[in-house]
Amino acid sequence: MEDQKPTSILVLDDEPIVCKRLKSALEKRGYEVEIFFRSSDAFKRITERNFDIVITDLKMEGLDGMAFLTEVKKRSPATEVIVITGFATMETAKESFQKGVFDFLAKPFKLGEIQDAVERAEKKIKGNIS
Amino acid sequence: MRILVALDTNRYSQYVVNEVAKLAMNTWADVTLLGVESRKPASNGTQPPRNLPIVRKLQEFREEFLGYFKDESVSPYAIKRWGYELVDRGKGLLEEMCVCKGMKDFRVRIRFGQPTKQILTEAVEEQSDLIVVGCSKGEQCTWEQDRNAPEKIVKAAPCSVLVVKEEKKPTKIVCCLDHDSVSQESLELINQMVTLHQTDLALVGLTESEHLREEVDQKMKQILQYYTAQKIKAWVSVVDVSLLDKFIADTAEKGLIALWMGHKSLIGKFFSQDRVGKLVRSAQSSVLILR
């Protein structure tokens, strides 16, 4: 029997406008979405449960996105992480890649772009693509 | 981020490819290199016209661009997956072809028709976030088949446009912004440009009269707070609208000029489309039109 549980997504971005935009767009597509503006709150949450997909900004106060990404992959290697960043550099792109990030999106991006990345990540999780 | 790179065979297009490659190395953007040819030459069945100068030039540009991503283990454009897709071969023929893909899309395309129309159509269809186009320095651009193409693209584009004049690292980025209606996308694009060039940021507010100066200054400081919070070194100045042309001409020598020209832009009201066109023609440095 097919698993009907919706794909769970954690969104972490210190800009509330970005979080709210993503939550609304992703929930419309049937995903279960939790948003966090502070990395400390998001970190606490990932100690409580695993998410299928994590979408995280990189540049934040406190625990930055790269450290958060590392922690997510350490606790739950199966979680696919999508990095979104307003201050992309070659180094952060490479480091994200080496840490096993599923996708790296520089802002600005259209909602369709992140929806597409989430769909691809979901397919990978469900084993539909190699 | 999706970047559409409009190219012809002029030398400035070479600068454009280099600039976009540097931006793509940071942002891992989806990139399309687009050339436009006025008329499609007669071809034999489904064989593409390989001997057009733009075809050869685009092949050179493709190699030039990918040359920036030689380490395939960390290249977003290195082939990571493949699969069969139905491809429209024209004349009522669909063919299932093996399509290889990287983590990010990198495409080379040629369209046939009027350059400005084709470039804008591509930007709409591909939902580009940024169009990058080259332009000669001096009053008259030498864009093939349409000398005013960069100017027309800037005026009509649905997204932001970077007009590249020469390969020069700007020492500062000067942003003429509205105080309360700048789009989040525009602020984000400025962030990426500041990160790419490692420059300071000058935020310029406009005022029509002296008694509004303080009010504009206060509102510009709200934008300044955004950038300060992002740890970007920025400062604010307020310029009288009547002096904007001179201000831009003076600052364009050293910096990259960015003008917020979105639908709600006050600058758009002060600064007519013709003046924007003149700016694109006459600017000595690159110009970024934000939308």
Cα–Cα dist B194/B172, whole Å: 8
Mutate to test the interface with B, among A90, A96, A113 (most CBs of B within 10 A): A90
pLDDT in the model for residue B56: 92
- C-alpha to C-alpha distances, B87 to B84, B90, B97, nearest whole angstrom: 9, 9, 7
Give the pLDDT mean for B238-243.
Answer: 82
Count of pairs with CB atoms under 8 A, one residue in A, one in B: 68
pLDDT in the model for residue A1: 47
Tell which residue, B253, B258, B275, B269, has the closest CA to residue B130. Answer: B258
The residue assigned the tokens 């503006």 is A37
The residue assigned the tokens 């893909």 is B101
Contacts of B31 (CB under 8 A, 6+ apart): B2, B3, B5, B20, B24, B65, B77, B104, B105, B106, B107
A contacts of B195 (beta carbons < 8 Å): 87-89
Residue B46 pLDDT > 60, yes or no? no
For residue B187, give the H/E element and its range: helix B184-197
Q: Where do the domains of chain A lie?
A: 8-124
Helix (H, G, I), strand (E, B) or coil at B33: strand
Give the pLDDT mean for B34-47.
Answer: 74
Nearest to B195 among A17, A18, A89 (CB): A89
More confident position, B221 or B117: B117
Helix (H, G, I), strand (E, B) or coil at B134: strand
The residue assigned the tokens 């449960």 is A49
Q: Which of A41-50, B83-92, B214-223 has the lowest mean pLDDT?
A: B214-223
With vertex at residue A92, the alpha carbon angle to CA B285 and CA B133, rounded to the nearest 5 degrees, is 25
Band the pLDDT of B109: cuts 50, 70, 90: very high
Rg of chain B (C-alpha set):
20
Please answer yes or no on whether A107 and B26 come within 8 Å at the CB atom. no
Mutate to test the interface with A, among B23, B27, B189 (most CBs of A within 10 A): B27
pLDDT in the model for residue B262: 78
Domain spanning B172-290: CATH 3.50.50.60: no
What are the structure tokens assigned to A106, written together? 């520089």
What are the structure tokens assigned to B26, written together? 């940071």
Q: How far is A98 from chain B (nearest CA, A)?
A: 8
The residue assigned the tokens 């071809």 is B43
Q: Where in chain B is the domain with CATH 3.40.50.620?
A: 2-75+104-164, 172-290
Cα–Cα dist B132/B27, whole Å: 15
Cα–Cα dist A39/A41, whole Å: 5
Q: B285 - beta bridge partners?
A: none
Tell which residue, B206, B207, B201, B213, has the closest CA to residue B175. Answer: B201
Residue A126 pLDDT > 90, yes or no? no
Check CB contact of A25 with chain B, cutoff 8 Å: no
Check CB contact of A94 with chain B, cutoff 8 Å: yes
Number of C-beta neighbours around residue A2 at 10 A: 5
**Residue-wise DSSP of A35-90:** EESSHHHHHHHHHH---SEEEEES--SSS-HHHHHHHHHHH-TT-EEEEEESS--H
Nearest to B74 among A18, A94, A110 (CB): A94
Cα–Cα dist B19/B30, whole Å: 15
- C-alpha to C-alpha distances, B46 to B49, B56, B59, B92, B95, nearest whole angstrom: 9, 19, 19, 11, 12
Cα–Cα dist B200/B171, whole Å: 8
CATH of domain B2-75+104-164: 3.40.50.620
pLDDT in the model for residue A4: 75
Helix (H, G, I), strand (E, B) or coil at B168: coil
Please answer yes or no on whether A106 and B230 come within 8 Å at the CB atom. no
Report the mean per-residue pLDDT for chain A.
91
A22-57 pLDDT, tens digit per residue, is: 999 999 999 999 999 999 999 999 999 999 999 999
pLDDT in the model for residue B48: 64
Contacts of B60 (CB under 8 A, 6+ apart): none
Q: Which of A55-64, B86-95, B136-145, B149-158 has the lowest mean pLDDT?
A: B136-145
CB A68 within 8 A of CB A14: no
A65-100 pLDDT, tens digit per residue, is: 899 999 999 999 999 999 999 989 999 999 998 999
C-alpha torsion sign, points B104, B6, A113, A73: positive
CATH topology of domain A8-124: Rossmann fold (3.40.50)
